[in-house]
Structure formats: C-alpha cells, structure tokens
Amino acid sequence: VRFGTLSQRLVLVREHAVLDVNQASEGRFPADAKCALERWEELRAWAGQADWSAARPLADAALGPPVPLPRQVFAVALNYRPHAAEAGFSPPSEPLIFTKFPSCVTGPYGTIALPDGHVDWEIELVAVVGTGGRDIARAKAWGAIAGVTIGQDLSERKLQLTGTPPQFSLAKSFAGFGPTGPVAVTTDELADRDDIGFECWLNNERVQRGRTSEMIFPVDDLVARLSRVCRLLPGDLIFTGTPAGVGNRRNPPRYLAEGDVLVSRFEGIGEIRQSFAR
Ligand code: ZN
C-alpha cells in the first residue's frame, strides 16, 4: 500500500492514480491522515481490497506530505558512522534525539525560501507511525510503523553550530525545512525494509548515497527506545538520520543557493524534489 495526501485528504496512490480514502470507503475512514492512522490495521486491510473504480489521475505535483502537521517529529543525529566521523564525533552509544517542529513539515515538491545563513541538505528515511503506543518491544516495533517515506532534514548551520553547545531543533525548523513524501510505502512492498538504497543529488551531482542497513540504530531500535519515553502517536514522523556527504563537512563547505535543485531518491519509494530561492 502506498498512501499520501492530496489537498490535505488521505489518498491511496498507484503509479498514475489516486483514490480518496474517505470517499471510496463511504465515510468509514476520515479524510485526515492522523485520524485515519489511529485505525491503521483496519485501514490497511481495507486498502488491500479497495475498489479503485472511483480513482482519479495522479497529478504528481499536487501530492502533499503523507502526514500534514504531525503531532511529534523525532529526528536522530549521527546515525551513520561515516557521517559521525565527518562531523568529528565517535559513534554514539545512545541515539541523540532532537525534533523538527511540526510546522516545518511540507510536501515532496516545491520551492523553499532560503533564510539568512548556511542551509544544508540531509537525505533521510522517515518512518511514519501507524497505531503507535508506548513501551513497544523492538521485536514488535516494525508493526507500529505504517510505512516509510523520504525526507530532507534541511538545516541552517549557522544557527545550529554557532553557539556552545550547539542547538539542533530550531535550526532545522525554518518554513519548509521538513519536506516529506511523495508517498508512505508499507514495508511489504520493499525487498528488504532494513536495507533500502538511496541517493541525494544536488543539481547534476550526487552528493550523498547510502543504504539504511548502515544505520547505527535501525528503525526498530529507534521505535523501541523512543516509545520508552514518549507515547508514539498515529502519524508521528521519525527522521532516521543522514549518511556522509552533507555540505558543511565538505572542503570547502558548500551550501544551498538560489536556483539549486535538490533531488532525494529511495529505492521502492520514489523521489522528492526541492528548489531554492532567496
Ligand atoms: Zn538529520
């Protein structure tokens, strides 16, 4: 199952078609993604046998974020060894968690206004919480996730790193700094949910690549650790960290500039595309 939103309404997505969940289910499920995900198991069962006769053509550019305005957005710093190394840290023994404030979450395509400072890219797998819960055992953790999507953890490095100690959450929460999409994909559609290849391209240059099997704390481990502290709510997002190749660790550093186009691709999910303007 692949799902997303169109005009803030939950839709199922196929290659060239979308199906409005609320309409096709005759009101059984609400149009709001967070509300519908509260009954994720029921929704997933229905989606597997939904009648697509009322489907409409997919205009790609119209898709919004898979979950608009999630209640909680978790993010992990230094979850890939080469990125920890390029940032000058040894791999952490506990995941270093911060938030991207939910108002920064936006859809898969569009133009993002560059604030003053040094804006950097970070391609990341984003897990979308389904039913959620508290104290989720690692062995059951994938069952708490509705699907995975693509995200960019855009970051303004001056605000992030100028102070001592540095701060993460605010510097990663400017308007548009959390693009996600184009769809969330259930893990049964993936060859291996723990080993997904991905690439980030800036203009015509590949700047990051990796596989999610290289994470220090894999998705199931993150879900178990986070849910020991916070109740995971339907539609919450977990940004799972980025590999090496970000701009501020390059020599010389490189940051996003007006006119740049950033494309982030994951096998089996698709791609998101942002352009940047002053
Ligand atoms: Zn990140």
CA 98 – ligand 1 centroid, Å: 9
Distance 214 CA to ligand 1 centre (A): 15
pTM (whole model) above 0.85 = yes
Average confidence score pLDDT of the chain:
96
| Å from CA of 6 to ligand 1 middle | 26
Rounded to the nearest whole angstrom, what is the distance from the C-alpha of residue 243 to the centroid of ligand 1? 9
Q: In this model, does residue 61 exceed pLDDT 80?
A: no
149 Cβ neighbours under 8 A, 6+ residues apart: 66, 125, 126, 128, 180, 181, 182, 183, 184, 185, 269
Position 59 pLDDT exceeds 90: no
By the CB criterion, residues less than 5 angstroms from ion ligand 1 are 122, 153, 242
CA of 86 to the centre of ligand 1 (A): 14
The answer to whether the CB of 148 falls within 8 A of the CB of 87 is no
pLDDT per residue over 245-263, tens digit each? Answer: 999 999 999 999 999 999 9
Tell me what pLDDT residue 60 has.
67
Interstrand relation of 109-113 and 270-277 (parallel, antiparallel or unpaired): parallel
Instruction: Look at residue 261 in the predicted model and tell me its pLDDT.
Output: 98
pLDDT digits (tens, 9 = 90+) for 91-111: 889 999 999 999 999 999 999
- pLDDT tens for 212-239 read 999 999 999 999 999 999 999 999 999 9
| Per-residue pLDDT reduced to its tens digit, 262-273 | 999 999 999 999
How big is the chain, counted in residues? 278
Ligand 1 centre to CA of 48 (Å) is 33
**Statement: residue 89 has pLDDT above 90:** no
Centre of ligand 1 from the C-alpha of residue 193, in Å: 20
Q: How far apart are CA 100 and CA 237, in angstroms?
A: 10
Residue 11 pLDDT level (bands cut at 50, 70, 90): very high
List of residues 6+ apart from 178 with CB closer than 8 A? 73, 100, 104, 105, 106, 151, 152, 153, 154, 172, 237, 239
For residues 108 and 275, the answer to whether their CB atoms sit within 8 Å is no
